[in-house]
Amino acid sequence: MKLVFILDPLPSLKIYKDTSMAMMREASQRGHKLFVSMQHDLFLRGSEARINTQSFEFSADGYELSLTAENSPADFDAIIMRKDPPFDNEYLYSTYLLEIAAGQGAKVFNNPAAIRGWNEKLSVARFPQFAPEFLVTASNALIRDFLNTHQDIVVKPLDGMGGSSIFRLTLSDPNISVILETITEHGTRTIMAQRYLPEILQGDKRIIVINGEPLPYALARIPLAGETRGNLAAGGTGVPQPLSSRDYEIAATVGKTLKQEGLFLVGLDVIGDHLTEINVTSPTGMVEIAAQTDCNPACVMLDALEQHLAQ
């Protein structure tokens, strides 16, 4: 197969631990031809979707790239969108271009319309039976009321990743006003507040769901001492653990809907018994799970992708 991965700039990726690279390495070992593109390599020539690509091969020094070539997205067996957030206007435009490409015969993973429609923070509202108490607003007064009710909360932007700009607030925090003014940009930016879940100390669990089916292990991301966030990008330590019965209930229920929506590779974030985020853009954690368990997520992903494309 000919597979295109839309990535962040290659020098920014850590080849030894990046999930996209793990999938690409597995695909290469199976004899598939790899190509890479960046976000702005997608474009329209008139009404026709086009994409600039470079062939990619792993080498002793890391990787080798060919010269850039212009192609029709439909020339490839699959286009795998792995550009990291933030989900800004440029990301939004990319989903439009990918949707046009899909309409012209390209096979895009994840479904670009679903990526656009499933905000990674707001999507927990689709499954209220699993979500902790939360509030979505730009109003500092409403957030203060929420804090007064729950006494211990986290606030976070709707378009971030990797734990960026996530704050924990308690009633005794002397910086409540400045934190809320900053994160809401003085009441002009909508954010999410969630009840603080003390189970975060046992890990923020990343459950990888592939074509509707969860892997048997979650990656529990344990926060640093004194840290609220478990994200690996924020210094958390990844420790795989078998799914609990509650983890599986959440993942199986959500996974059924994800599959219907064309969300092929998704990362669910679960703290304790609660679903806190649904990551549809570029979920990570495959390398850590593969290194510490008998499960190879990249292999599972390629098996599922090959089977899906053969249908």
Residues annotated as catalytic are: 121, 156, 206, 221, 229, 269, 277, 279
Helical H segments across 209-293, by residue range: 245-261, 286-292
Closest by CA position to 158, among listed 131, 135, 126, 192: 192
Cα separation values, 201 from 147, 223, 232, 273, Å:
21, 7, 14, 13
Q: Hey, how many other C-beta atoms are within 10 angstroms of the C-beta on 211?
A: 20
User: How many CA atoms, within 13 angstroms, populate the side-chain half-sphere of residue 212?
Assistant: 8
Cβ proximity of 77 and 1 under 8 Å: yes
User: How many CA atoms, within 13 angstroms, populate the side-chain half-sphere of residue 92?
Assistant: 5
Structural Rg of the chain based on CA atoms: 20
